[in-house]
Amino acid sequence: MNAFQVKNTHYSLTTPLYYVNDLPHVGSAYTTIAADVIARYQRMQGKSVLFITGSDEHGQKIQRTAEALERTPQEHCDQVVAGFQVLWQLLGIHYDRFIRTTDPRHASIVQEFFQRVWDNGDIYLSQQQGWYCVSCEEFKEPRDLLEGHYCPIHTNRQAEWRDEENYFFRLSRYQEQLEDLYQKRPNFIQPEIRRNEVISFVSQGLQDFSISRINLDWGFPVPADPSHTLYVWFDALLGYVTALLEPDQAPTLENALAKWWPINLHLIGKDILRFHAVYWPAMLLSAGLPVPDQVFGHGFLTKDGQKMGKTLGNVLDPFDLVKRYGSDAVRYYFLKEIEFGRDGDFSETRFVNILNADLANDLGNLLNRTLKMVHKYCGSSIPVPVKTNLLSTNPLQDLGQQLGDRVAAAYQSLAFSEACEAALSLARMGNRYIDEQAPWTRYKQGQQQEVEEILYTVLESVRLAAYLLSPITPQISSAIYRQLGFSIDFNEQSSIYLLAPFPEHSRWGFLPFEQQLGEPQPVFQRLELPNSDRL
């Protein structure tokens, strides 16, 4: 196989490597759910997938948090990382690698990479003066700060004045090459609004940025001068490379980059776009390495229309949400309700209403009532449709025949909300169709063939909708498939590989005739609002 073929059959993607100062918040859950959906979709396409997530453990923010809790930084990180892994499990996240930047192999990768950049003459010592937000781990322009030097993202934290000697990375040298990259590869930064932001930022002129800190122990010593500690972002971005090593491979850049590089997709929130779309490609260019295919910056979540924050006391706890409503519900809400790439809101009332309308009623109920009718009118196996004159045109079939391609295109462009809408439109049409066709009346009139055709068509619509939603709602889709008589679990990697390639199951008419059906059972329990939220 040549390199192009390998690339075409392989797909690698990353979430950010999360800070472990605290347990994961809903923003980290949002990015990770979206990444998991992409990974599942790509696996269903028959690709070999490497889905990377992990933790960013160095730097002042973690060091200070650990000190305040009277733990060593490593103890603190170990505890919080365990919490992340629990949440990912609760949310049904099937990652392939969890990279921790305290992994000893990471030190070797960072050292080798630093050396390449150093040898290229892109690192020099100079004086750094400016306002530093420890929570962002970033120097801020005075014009970007709020009054009293408060950070616009962490509004309860003041940026700190720094005036110290640091090592700098010669970012300014890469201005032209970056502009060229953005022009030649319009998909490198997506969505468009983020691409424009970056292009405008870069066009104002790039300044070198400091990549070392003094008075900080928790991090890697700068290889050329161990009295300095490497800036946490320089080390963190390289975590994406260390993650590519096979468990037993020697930690060299050559090994790490051999199979999966360049990464197909870095999925991030819009606040860390500059690091991924400007600093990171420049660092890679300096080290003589190819840049990733795409950086996608999604929007920010608010709660009931307000920015979330500890001081506001309105932080949405993802553990609590998933424990109360289940993982499919949480996954579905965020991806269906918010257009991916834009900011979006969480409201518990809306959450409950959407899930009840879409999953409990439109999809779940349709399956339940149709299965009951099949058991009553046709026995316990899937009816064999015979095309009757009466039903010469079938709207479900017309919609179903083009749905697989439409939904695949939506997943491909990360338009999750569109994928959900399209799949749901088939279920909604199924409900209307069964009401109009009234198989219960036809049965009484002895129109057995028409009844069988109607019921087959509706069951096939539910199957197709369930399949197309399965990257987002794997548990519900598996339950639906089971009741339709398949022994396929969308959470089992091995069954997913059996399903590949995507076109097979996404084709209208795949439901096998006479397959033995399961017992009808609700696939999604209606949700109730907690008492205090009811009107």
Binding site for ligand MSP (CB under 6 A): 16-19, 27-28, 30-31, 56, 236-237, 239, 268-269, 271-272, 300-301, 308
Least Cβ distance, residue 18 to ligand MSP (angstroms): 4
Least Cβ distance, residue 132 to ligand MSP (angstroms): 15
Name 83's Cβ contacts closer than 8 Å, sequence gap at least 6: 23, 24
Least Cβ distance, residue 236 to ligand MSP (angstroms): 4
Residue closer to ligand MSP (CB basis): 237 or 523: 237
Least Cβ distance, residue 31 to ligand MSP (angstroms): 5
Closest by Cα among 249, 215, 212 to 234: 212
Please list, residue by residue across 270-284, b when 16 or more beta carbons sit within 10 angstroms of its beta carbon and e when fewer do: bebbbbbbbbbbbbb
Least Cβ distance, residue 63 to ligand MSP (angstroms): 14
Residue closer to ligand MSP (CB basis): 47 or 58: 58
Is residue 146 a contact partner of residue 152, using CB atoms and an 8 Å limit?
yes
Least Cβ distance, residue 238 to ligand MSP (angstroms): 8
Least Cβ distance, residue 56 to ligand MSP (angstroms): 3
Residue closer to ligand MSP (CB basis): 16 or 326: 16
Q: What is the DSSP letter of 516?
A: B
Backbone Cα Rg of the chain = 26
Residue closer to ligand MSP (CB basis): 17 or 420: 17
Residue closer to ligand MSP (CB basis): 47 or 61: 61
Residues 389, 71: Cα–Cα separation, whole Å: 76
Which position has the token pair 């009346």? Answer: 441
Closest by Cα among 242, 303, 287, 294 to 268: 294
Is residue 282 a contact partner of residue 170, using CB atoms and an 8 Å limit?
no
The number of C-alpha atoms within 13 Å of 339 and in the hemisphere containing its C-beta is 2
Residue closer to ligand MSP (CB basis): 19 or 218: 19
* Residues counted in the chain: 535
Least Cβ distance, residue 434 to ligand MSP (angstroms): 39
3-state helix, strand, coil in the chain (%, to 5): 50, 15, 35
Residues 255, 246: Cα–Cα separation, whole Å: 8
Least Cβ distance, residue 301 to ligand MSP (angstroms): 4
Taking CB positions, which residue lies at the least distance from ligand MSP? 269
Least Cβ distance, residue 102 to ligand MSP (angstroms): 13
Least Cβ distance, residue 59 to ligand MSP (angstroms): 8
Residue closer to ligand MSP (CB basis): 90 or 272: 272
86, 326, 375 from 92: Cα distances, Å: 10, 10, 33
Residue closer to ligand MSP (CB basis): 31 or 102: 31
Least Cβ distance, residue 319 to ligand MSP (angstroms): 16
C-alpha dihedral sign at 323, 325, 327, 331: negative
Residue closer to ligand MSP (CB basis): 178 or 308: 308
Residue closer to ligand MSP (CB basis): 316 or 488: 316
Neighbour order of strands in the sheet with 123-133: 138-140, 123-133, 160-169, 209-210
- The neighbouring-strand residues paired with 381 are 516
Is residue 354 a contact partner of residue 348, using CB atoms and an 8 Å limit?
no
Is 266 exposed, middle or buried, given 0-12, 13-18 or 19+ CB atoms closer than 10 A?
A: buried
Residue closer to ligand MSP (CB basis): 301 or 454: 301
Residue closer to ligand MSP (CB basis): 307 or 372: 307
Least Cβ distance, residue 191 to ligand MSP (angstroms): 14
Residue closer to ligand MSP (CB basis): 276 or 442: 276
Name 332's Cβ contacts closer than 8 Å, sequence gap at least 6: 354, 355, 358, 359, 420, 469, 472, 473
Closest by Cα among 311, 237, 245 to 279: 237
Could you give the 3-state DSSP secondary structure of residue 263? coil
409, 465, 502, 513, 515 from 498: Cα distances, Å: 22, 19, 10, 20, 18
Is residue 424 a contact partner of residue 473, using CB atoms and an 8 Å limit?
no
